[in-house]
Structure 1
Amino acid sequence: MKKTILSVAALLAVGVGSASAADLPAKVYTKAPPIVAFDPWDIAFGAAVMSDYVFRGVTQSNHKPSVTAYFEPRYNVTKDLQLYVGTSFESISFANRAAAEVDIYGGIRPTFGAFAFDFGVWGYLYPGGSCVDSNANGSATQCGVGSFPISLLNQNAMKKDVSFYEGYAKVTWTANDMFAFGANEFYSPNFLNTGAWGNYASVTGKFTAPTSVFGSSGVGMYVSGEYGRQWFGSTDAFYGPIKLADYNTWNIGVGFTYKVFTLDLRYSDTDLSKGNCNAFTSDFTASGNTAWTPINQTGVGSNWCGSTFIAKLSADVTLGALK
């Protein structure tokens, strides 16, 4: 009887030992992993309020506060390939009294490892504008037959419709959790409907602080900047024709994030003179008579292209994040 008990105990010991040893590297028999449903559709949307709407170093809101919002449906073909379309609007203050800037865009975003690309077309629409002509006299002039232009005291001129589009290509290299670098290229055959082609290229950099900096508060921080150059061709007869001045622009700022909110504080500047800035923007607030340049014969100068500080509070979310 004792021998039988000992034999059974020995067999159990061997069996348990064998099973434990087999468990160490991997189980021989396992259940299939659960199938997680993949929903390729998503929507990103958000809104922001800013102290100044600055586009490539030039204010679009006369250095006044502006609001913006966007809506962007997305389709993820795979985890590394996204198609998207979107629309956004911004409040502006142009010489032609356009009601707002309405953007319509779309493109493709492929990702290869640490490199994220973005290719697409961006349309800038400015509805509700009026013809602004320095020669306005109550009759139709070069703004077009049937147009009755308004005139500015500083003799600047602007077309009723300054809508245009750009093709773009972007790439971002995420070096690690803290550092990311990018390059951007935009081209338009008719920038702001001036008749002049426009080409803009820039490089960007961003440092994201480790989450440990703010502990468990949920607050994040980053520092980012951009340096770019804008090139132009010559305008059509309405504006001269003149060769618009090329210029450099740069910005640097710090941002704080919390959940869906971002507070961005930024300094922006360009190397455009007040005279060349006036020729480019048709600034309705431009004044003086000393800002003479070859393309600014009136001498009035604009501060729309100078240094400025921008505070922007935004909220951004995706539908997938809300599920």
Structure 2
Amino acid sequence: MQRKLVALAAIALLSSGGVMAQARTSAPEPEYTYSFNVGAVTDYRYRGISQSRLRPAIQGGADFSHKSGFYIGTWASSIRWIEDAGGDASVEVDVYGGYKTTFGDFGMDVGVLRYLYPNSSLPVNPNTTEVYIAGTWGPATLKYSHSTTNLFGFADSKNSGYLDLSATFDTGFWGLTVTPHVGHQRVRNNSAASYTDWSIGLGKDFGNGLTASLAYVDTDTDVYLAPSGRNLGRSGVVLGVKYGF
């Protein structure tokens, strides 16, 4: 009887050790992941300039990534600036793809992004292609985007560039993050349209895919105007909500 008890105890110990070892083994990385998102903002600001005439916009996108680091995605938003410029497009559709990798604590992201404005009917095609490279170290990311076409309808503006620095910090309070940002848009052969933008935002993840953001945005330009004459680069506060699934 005593030997049976010892044997049973040994089997139990080995079994529990196997379970613990299995629990310590992380699940294998999936071959690929995909996600979708929908949201709304009180003002669609891109590089500090309102794309929605300082009014709300609805947005959504989809992303697909492979464990090798390659990814593709698309994103869309309602806009008003094409109509304000005399065109017909009421939506912006972005298509992008690239590759992400890490070297120790340093991350790198390279890719290409195509901005599409279906049926825009502007004198200069606003559809724009940019290639970009970004480096991340700790909370900070430095990114440069270079246009290989005319930039957003500016004539003879190929090879324009946008350089920006941003970071994300966890405040340690209620799950809030702080995101400061500064960037400079150079529009080639149109120095009057070049400008600097900056912002600081707060973000909150409520779980189950729901996030919210609040940001103060400003620029140093007053040449981007709505039909009413309002400065589309004026300082403002933008509230956003997004649901990912």
Which TM bucket (shorter chain)? 0.7 to 0.9
Which residue of structure 2 lines up, in the alignment, with residue 251 of structure 1?
199
Which residue of structure 1 lines up, in the alignment, with residue 142 of structure 2?
183
2:150 is equivalent to residue 203 of structure 1: no
1:36 to 1:269, Cα distance in 2 relative to 1, 3 A:
closer
Which residue of structure 2 lines up, in the alignment, with residue 270 of structure 1?
219
Gapped runs of 5+ residues in structure 1?
1-11, 17-22, 132-142, 144-158, 175-179, 215-219, 235-241, 287-301, 318-323
Give the distance between the partners of 1:35 and 1:232, measured in 2 at CA: 48
Gapped runs of 5+ residues in structure 2?
7-12
Give the distance between the partners of 2:61 and 2:108, measured in 1 at CA: 21
Give the distance between the partners of 1:252 and 1:35, measured in 2 at CA: 37
Which residue of structure 2 lines up, in the alignment, with residue 217 of structure 1?
none
Q: Deviations over 1:140-180 (max 9, x none)?
A: xxx4xxxxxxxxxxxxxxx4x31011111112222xxxxx1
User: SS of 1:192's equivalent?
Assistant: coil
Q: Deviations over 1:187-221 (max 9, x none)?
A: 103211422132111111221133xx44xxxxx21
Q: Deviations over 1:283-304 (max 9, x none)?
A: 4333xxxxxxxxxxxxxxx411
Which residue of structure 2 lines up, in the alignment, with residue 85 of structure 1?
72
Which residue of structure 2 lines up, in the alignment, with residue 285 of structure 1?
228
Normalising by structure 2, we get a TM-score of 0.82
Q: CA deviation at 1:262?
A: 1.3
Which residue of structure 2 lines up, in the alignment, with residue 41 of structure 1?
32
User: SS of 1:183's equivalent?
Assistant: strand
Which residue of structure 1 lines up, in the alignment, with residue 210 of structure 2?
261
My pick for the range that moved more, 31-40 or 105-114, is 31-40
Q: Is the 8 A contact 2:29 2:67 kept in 1?
A: no
Q: Is the 8 A contact 1:73 1:84 kept in 2?
A: yes
Q: CA deviation at 1:246?
A: 2.0
Which amino acid is 1:232 matched to?
Answer: V
2:239 is equivalent to residue 316 of structure 1: no
Which amino acid is 2:92 matched to?
Answer: E
User: SS of 1:303's equivalent?
Assistant: coil
Give the distance between the partners of 1:162 and 1:93, measured in 2 at CA: 13
- Cα RMSD for the two superposed structures: 2.7
Give the distance between the partners of 1:203 and 1:32, measured in 2 at CA: 43
Q: Deviations over 1:232-263 (max 9, x none)?
A: 212xxxxxxx5443211100011111112111
